[in-house]
Structure 1
Amino acid sequence: MLHTSTKTPTGGFSFENTRRNAVLEANLSEKGYSAPNARKTGTTIAGLIFKDGVILGADTRATDDMVVADKNCMKIHYIAPKIYCCGAGVAADAEVTTQMMSSNVELHSLSTGRPPLVAMVTRQLKQMLFRYQGHIGSSLIVGGVDINGPQLYSVYPHGSYDKLPFLTMGSGAAAAISLFEDRYKPNMELEEGKQLVRDAITAGIFCDLGSGSNVDLCVITEKAVDYLRGYDQPVQKGLREGSYRYKPGTTAVLTKTVIPLTLDVVDESVQVMDTE
């Protein structure tokens, strides 16, 4: 009689590669090199499937380290008439990647004479990102409506992907996914889905310094696409109660010193051009 011995799986985290990583870093430091640092990019993007289609959402802050480079950056990119893509990560990589994909999808539609599928767009994206092995820093959420109904995918910079009814990505994804897990339900109505995506992006804005400014939404249905630019402003600039401009002479001048500047005056003669 045969007996199979099964090993009981152990729970918790695995730290098997910790010693390996330490040895690799030590070898690099001996040769004058340093291990690459992880790049942190700030964004909150999200999407969900509701009863009639897909709702995508994103914040509008673009950062350069600790500097806000753009307060109204567009992060929901056009791919096809009924397919859009949210981009997180390096802004230039996400912009150019989605532009290239939009061009390739248009050529594919002209060649085949058929409207593009969301799965086809996702497949081309993950194949391209996998080819570069993560050096293109684009985390994408692809959403749209095709002959198979509403579709929602997430594509990671290394080429892996997920297909789920709701998704979040970016540095504020942890705060956004908590709202989705708590309040999402199948076959949601349009206004209920828009409110949930808005609250998810707002949670990312409040809980992540790399996310901020406004909330953009994109509602994709079988009949139309509604791009809601500046749908909500969770953090509005405070209004001043009064004028803080003082009249000239309000502050007394105690001392006054005038230092004359010595300037070298150069005489230049202008020659008239002969136009005859």
Structure 2
Amino acid sequence: MASAKTLSVEPERRGFNFELHARNQQLVKEGVKPPKMMKTGTTTAAVVFKDGVVLGADTRATGGNMVMNKNCAKIHFLARNMYCLGAGTAADTEYVTRLMAGKLEMLSMSTRRVAPVKAAVRMLKQMLFRYQGHIQAALIVGGVDTLGPHIISIAPHGSSDNAPYLAMGSGSIAAMSVLETYFRPDMTRDEAVKLIRDAINAGVTNDLFSGSNIDICVITKDKSEVVRPYEQNQPDILKKENSYVFQRGKTTVLSQTVKKIDYQVVSQETRKITEEPMETS
């Protein structure tokens, strides 16, 4: 009687995969030049006001000296009382925030209450520290819970900082100068929104890697509102002002020459291929 065969199923891989890291390090030791990292740019800022928090970001995504996307969303959803600003690699920030949004939803369902901001910050810190900075995601978490409004910045290595106003990204120096000049405690909603708008606009104006539109997110204990775009600085490139369809005869033909090309018709049956097939692997 033949014995039953057991099928070995490979477990599903979750999260980021860095299996080729050791191979890449060995190639570097052997003299292989690794590809250069591409410069990214962002301006994100957040501030705490009397009734909640205001988050803001630009919408330009860059890869080196090239603008990859003029309308990139940098305000990411975490929970109904929390949003996150992402700076660094756009793919990393998008994946991390989506993964964390699912974990926070499971936490809310298991505890039957709104997830606190500190819980999201703790899980994000542990995840980023586990990968030792290889996930290029610099985050600012903003939200309102039972303890009040909070904004906390998280570096790619897992360290965090808590302050009444924060800025991250390549344009953060210009944005921070505006925040330090005009911030004051117990601001109203409109004052906080204007302050974040001015801070992001300072980064857009003074940083070549930041630009395009300005997005704003306002979070209070009652609701969360994302205004995208809050201010549109990038003109609509899809709208054509003039018609570029010209009728025949509008362009003058200066000269015209007809050349006869000698060719020979070869049927598919008699054709012999002597070249070796190209290696595509």
Shorter-chain TM-score range: 0.7 to 0.9
The 5 Å alignment of 1:27-66 reads 32=31, 40-66=39-65
C-alpha displacement of 1:69: 1.7
Supply the distance in 1 between the matched residues of 2:105 and 2:189 (Cα, whole angstroms): 29
Question: In the alignment, is residue 256 of structure 1 matched against residue 256 of structure 2?
Answer: yes
Amino acid paired to 1:254: L
Sequence identity percentage: 49
Which residue of structure 2 aligns with residue 107 of structure 1?
A: 106
Residue 31 of structure 1: CA displacement? 6.7
Q: Which moved more, 1:196-205 or 1:246-255?
A: 246-255
Contact preservation (8 Å) 1:175, 1:207: yes
Question: What is residue 11 of structure 1 aligned with on the other side?
Answer: none
- Which stretch has the larger CA shift, 183-192 or 30-39? 30-39
Q: Deviations over 1:227-263 (max 9, x none)?
A: 1011102343699987777665444321112346769
Normalising by structure 1, report the TM-score. Answer: 0.78
Cα distance in 1, alignment partners of residues 265 and 109 from structure 2: 68
The answer to which of 58-67 and 77-86 deviates more is: 58-67
Q: CA RMSD in A?
A: 2.9
Structure 2 Cα separation of the partners of residues 95 and 265 of structure 1: 55
The Cα shift of 1:212 comes to 1.3
Q: Distance in 2 between matches of 1:114 and 1:138?
A: 28
Contact 1:202 1:234 in 2 (8 A): no
Q: In 2 relative to 1, CA 30–74 (structure 1 residues): closer, same or farther, beyond 3 Å?
A: closer
Query: Aligned partner of 1:230: which letter?
Result: P
CA separation of 1:244 and 1:189: change in aligned 2, threshold 3 A: same
Distance in 1 (CA, whole Å) between partners of 2:202 and 2:85 is: 17
Distance 1:94 1:227 in 2: 18
Assess if the C-alpha contact under 8 Å between 2:38 and 2:63 holds in 1.
Answer: no
* Separation in structure 2 between the aligned mates of residue 36 and residue 241 of structure 1, nearest angstrom: 41
1:140 has 2:147 as partner: no
Code of the aligned partner of 1:175: A
**Measured at CA, do residues 106 and 250 of structure 1 come closer, stay the same or move farther in structure 2, by a change above 3 Å?**
same
Q: How many residues align?
A: 240
- Structure 2 CA distance, aligned partners of 1:263 and 1:142? 70
Q: Tell me how far apart the structure 2 counterparts of residues 178 and 30 of structure 1 sit (CA, whole Å).
A: 43
